[in-house]
Structure 1
Amino acid sequence: MIRPAARADLDHLPGIEVAAGEAFRALGMDAVADDAPPTVEELAAYQVDGRAWVATDPAGRPVGYALALELDGGAHLEQVTVHPAAAGRRIGAALIDAVDRWAAGRGAVWLTLTTFADVPWNAPYYERLGFRAMAAETLPAGLRAIREHEGANGLDAWPRVAMRRPVGGAG
């Protein structure tokens, strides 16, 4: 089930992030795997503003989450993470669809994200969901600032890309 995140969910989300990050080690991306997960306080800012969603198992425990921002007059998928034990069940797609509905409710035309270009569960996955790569020179100011921040934090050690799809344009 996908639902807005509750305060009680937030303690579970950093562990989901750490578990999901381990997959990057197989690609030689240890720095990504070792990156600290968001803190409960950082997550709370999204939750309080209604910009955080969780996917839960039948017992109601979070197994994935998504975070969103309002950016450049549209919506930006800041994070989507699914615990590896729950992978392969279209949970990530369902979380993205929840963000898409939120974006539609705000009149957003585009849903954007940034991701690793060559990681199979990143850009190729998002392409299957209707996202398309954006040329760097076409990025609006807010998205350009996110990419610059990512570069300053070392994420450009691997190819990255900004992507977008029309709101309501699920693949």
Structure 2
Amino acid sequence: MHTGTPLIRPVTAAELPLLQEIERAAGEPFRALGMASVADDEPPAVADLDRFRRAGRAWVAVDAADVPVAYLIGEPVEDADADHIEQVSVHPRAARRGIGGALIGHAAERARAAGRSALTLTTFADVPWNAPYYARIGFRPLAPDELTPRLRAIRAHEAELGLDRWPRLCMRRDLTPPARTAP
């Protein structure tokens, strides 16, 4: 088990290809669930990852040698008053140590500091390390009538990519307001 908080920092431009390697490795376990097309899916292009990096919306968790072992990219979803986690991936060699949860916690702190009330994400409903995991760390499934236009657009894009071959859902984790200190 992970015995400390991993170091989380912004990703550098030079590390963007490493994020692709993390994504490929993190996809491999889907193969065992009969989801080979997910395992074989190409990771985001470096240019796409760089868009998140330049916007200050890409973070890595690093090992003791300062090498990324996990990453998270996200963007605001204004009509949901949320930051949307576009992708969070942990290399299997670093899995089950709380690193993904730490990255999500970091994203929550950033969203809270920006005045947002929630995190959102989309995920596979029946993959053990997807929706069931997110439910354990405070996310709840959104009913179809709770999806904002932007969240519906994200889901529609995923369907175009063929991800709806398996049940998917959108989830939300409400954030508590930042603690106020007395004057």
TM-score range, shorter chain: over 0.9
Q: How many angstroms apart in 1 are the aligned matches of 2:19 and 2:124? A: 21
Q: Structure 1 residues 96 and 168, CA, compared in 2 at 3 Å: closer, same or farther?
A: farther
Matching residue within 113, 125, 136 for 2:133:
125
Pairing 1:152-163 to 2, within 5 Å after superposition: 152-163=160-171
Shift >4 Å, 4+ stretches? none
Which blocks of at least 5 consecutive residues in structure 2 are unaligned? 1-6, 178-183
Q: How many angstroms apart in 1 are the aligned matches of 2:14 and 2:66? A: 11
Q: Structure 1 residues 168 and 98, CA, compared in 2 at 3 Å: closer, same or farther?
A: farther
Whether contact under 8 Å (1:100, 1:168) holds in the other structure is no
Matching residue within 144, 153, 157 for 1:145:
153
What secondary structure does 1:97 align onto?
Answer: helix
Q: How many angstroms apart in 2 are the aligned matches of 1:78 and 1:149? A: 12
Which blocks of at least 5 consecutive residues in structure 1 are unaligned? none
Pairing 1:83-94 to 2, within 5 Å after superposition: 83-94=91-102
- CA RMSD in angstroms comes to 1.1
Q: How many angstroms apart in 2 are the aligned matches of 1:32 and 1:168? A: 34
Q: Which residue of 2 aligns with 1:52?
A: 58
Pairing 1:19-98 to 2, within 5 Å after superposition: 19-71=25-77, 72=79, 73-98=81-106
CA drift of 1:39 comes to 1.4
**Rg larger in structure:** 2
State the Cα deviation string for residues 18-62 of structure 1 (Å, max 9, x = none). Answer: 001010000000110111101111110000110000000000000
Q: Which residue of 1 aligns with 2:181?
A: none
Q: Structure 1 residues 77 and 168, CA, compared in 2 at 3 Å: closer, same or farther?
A: farther
